[in-house]
């Protein structure tokens, strides 16, 4: 039961909280119930270097991981399997005991015992996902059972496909009406974002491209992206969409995206440097091509000041200082110190953005 898949950050956070909490903590039961459904392998626990070796959960994970490993590598270790009984019923990993025993019985040819053990696995637990597989495998009418489930799956897929096609058609028909376009896109994105985040992002970018053919990207549109994708990704998508239309607005959105990223617990200096490199390039473009209003310069000054403080708080050894005399903030700082100009008409340039083909999303 080797663990090669990297863990989701939220799962790591939950495990850390669970192991650190005293047993009588009011939130421990809720975290237990959530982890109960998400621990997709005892080996996942074994791979957590933040869980002490003497922690009861780690000990139980090692027992189950070793036992299952012995089943799957062809060298069954009865002693390792016997240790499974030492895992208490109240354990987070207890459902894996029945699962491992069921696999053992199946390999031993005792299908009746395997069936009984499978029935003991709670359906809402992580190994509960295997119940249907085993029940279909062991049932004498398994072909009929499997066919019925496949028919349901087929109908579900067709229904989802029809829904997506209808939604895409509505989006295309709503191009001239911002509110309707954003609402239609939002409904579809909410339906697919968990399963296909990239397609969801392409849909919102397509909508933003269409909207910007007639006007600047509105605050309403940016707010919709932030609501659907979160602060960091929402601002990033807005920045990408407006880059070829309005570099000055894009610069603001990139700054907001980086600030949101810095609010996250796990940040990478490499990612921060990549953000700053993008900001520098756009700052150079904005300085060359745009006259900036007092309001814009003040906004930029505030954002850059906030950014420099946060970066240097997280990474004290980062190049530059709070006064921003050198890279990586130099170009942005220069933009903020640029002589302020009275409000002027925005520079208008002909842009031919590349549209995302909606046909790609029609399954």
DSSP string, 79-108: HHHHGGGGS-TTSTTHHHHHHHHHHHHHHT
Contact between 83 and 100 (Cβ < 8 Å): no
Total of domains in the chain: 3
Q: Based on the fold, state whether residues 17 and 95 are members of the same structural domain.
A: yes
pLDDT (tens digit per residue) in 95-154: 898 888 888 888 888 888 888 888 888 888 888 877 777 776 666 544 544 555 555 545
Query: Does residue 31 form part of some domain?
Result: yes
**Cα 220 from chain centroid?**
24
- 17 and 111 in a single domain? The answer is yes
Report for 234-238, 294-298, 321-325: range of highest mean pLDDT: 234-238
Note the pLDDT tens digit of each residue in 197-226: 888 888 888 888 888 877 778 888 899 999
96 and 23 in a common domain = yes
Q: Last residue of some domain: 244, 264, 295?
A: 244
Residue 240 inside a domain? The answer is yes
* 353 belongs to a structural domain: no
Q: Is residue 4 part of a domain?
A: no
Strand partners, 293: 341
Residue with the bigger pLDDT between 333 and 265: it is 265
> pLDDT per residue over 78-89, tens digit each?
888 889 989 898
Q: Which of 244, 270, 303 is the last residue of a domain?
A: 244
Q: ∠161-163-165 over CA atoms, to 5°?
A: 70
Model confidence at 342, pLDDT cuts 50, 70, 90, reads: very low
Rounded Cα distance between 353 and 356, Å, is 9
Residue the block writes with tokens 């309403």: 220
Q: What confidence tens digit (pLDDT) does each residue in 167-195 have?
A: 556 555 555 677 777 887 788 788 888 88
Kindly state the helix (H) or strand (E) to which residue 282 belongs, with its residue range: helix 269-289
Taking the C-alpha atoms of residue 249 and residue 244, their distance in angstroms, rounded to an integer, is 10
Same domain, yes or no, for 289 and 211?
Answer: no
Is 356 within a domain? no
Residue 283's domain comprises 247-345
Domain stop point among 81, 115, 139: 139
- Residue 363: inside a domain, yes or no? no
| Same-domain check for residues 19 and 128 | yes
**Could you tell me if 194 and 265 lie in one domain?**
no
Q: How far apart are CA 1 and CA 66, in angstroms?
A: 8
Range from 70-84, 172-186, 334-348 carrying the lowest mean pLDDT: 334-348
Q: Are residues 23 and 128 in the same domain?
A: yes
Whether residue 235 is predicted with pLDDT greater than 90 in this model: the reply is yes
Q: Is there a single domain that holds both residue 115 and residue 193?
A: no
> Is residue 251, in this structure, part of any structural domain at all?
yes
Is it the case that residue 12 has pLDDT exceeding 50? yes
pTM value surpassing 0.85: no
38 and 49 co-located in one domain:
yes
**15 and 102, same structural domain?**
yes
**135 and 14: one domain?**
yes
**Is residue 17 a part of any domain in this protein?**
yes
Q: Does 212 share its domain with 237? A: yes
């Amino acid at each position: 039961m080797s663990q090669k898949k990297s863990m989701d950050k939220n799962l790591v956070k939950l495990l850390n909280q669970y192991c650190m909490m005293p047993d009588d903590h009011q939130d421990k039961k809720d975290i237990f119930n959530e982890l109960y459904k998400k621990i997709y392998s005892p080996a996942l626990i074994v791979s957590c270097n933040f869980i002490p070796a003497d922690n009861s959960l780690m000990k139980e994970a090692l027992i189950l991981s070793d036992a299952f490993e012995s089943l799957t590598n062809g060298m069954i270790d009865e002693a390792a399997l016997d240790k499974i009984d030492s895992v208490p019923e109240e354990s987070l990993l207890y459902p894996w005991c029945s699962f491992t025993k069921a696999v053992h019985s199946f390999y031993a040819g005792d299908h009746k015992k395997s069936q009984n053990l499978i029935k003991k696995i709670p359906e809402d637990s992580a190994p509960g996902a295997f119940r249907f597989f085993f029940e279909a495998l062991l049932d004498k009418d398994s072909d009929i059972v499997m066919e019925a489930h496949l028919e349901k799956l087929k109908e579900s897929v067709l229904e989802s496909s029809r829904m997506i096609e209808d939604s895409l058609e509505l989006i295309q028909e709503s191009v001239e009406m911002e509110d309707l376009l954003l609402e239609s896109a939002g409904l579809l994105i909410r339906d697919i974002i968990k399963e296909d985040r990239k397609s969801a992002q392409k849909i919102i970018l397509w909508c933003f491209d269409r909207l910007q053919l007639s006007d600047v990207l509105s605050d309403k549109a940016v707010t919709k992206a932030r609501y659907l994708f979160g602060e960091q990704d929402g601002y990033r998508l807005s920045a990408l969409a407006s880059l070829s239309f309005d570099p000055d607005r894009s610069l603001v959105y990139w700054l907001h995206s980086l600030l949101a990223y810095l609010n996250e617990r796990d940040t990478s200096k490499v990612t921060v440097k990549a953000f700053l490199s993008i900001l520098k390039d756009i700052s150079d473009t904005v300085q060359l091509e745009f006259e900036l209003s007092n309001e814009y310069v003040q906004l930029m000054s505030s954002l850059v000041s906030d950014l420099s403080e946060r970066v240097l708080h997280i990474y004290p050894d980062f190049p530059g200082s709070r006064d921003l005399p050198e890279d990586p903030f130099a170009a942005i700082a220069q933009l903020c110190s640029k002589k302020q100009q009275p409000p002027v008409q925005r520079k208008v340039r002909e842009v031919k953005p590349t549209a995302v083909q909606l046909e790609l999303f029609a399954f």
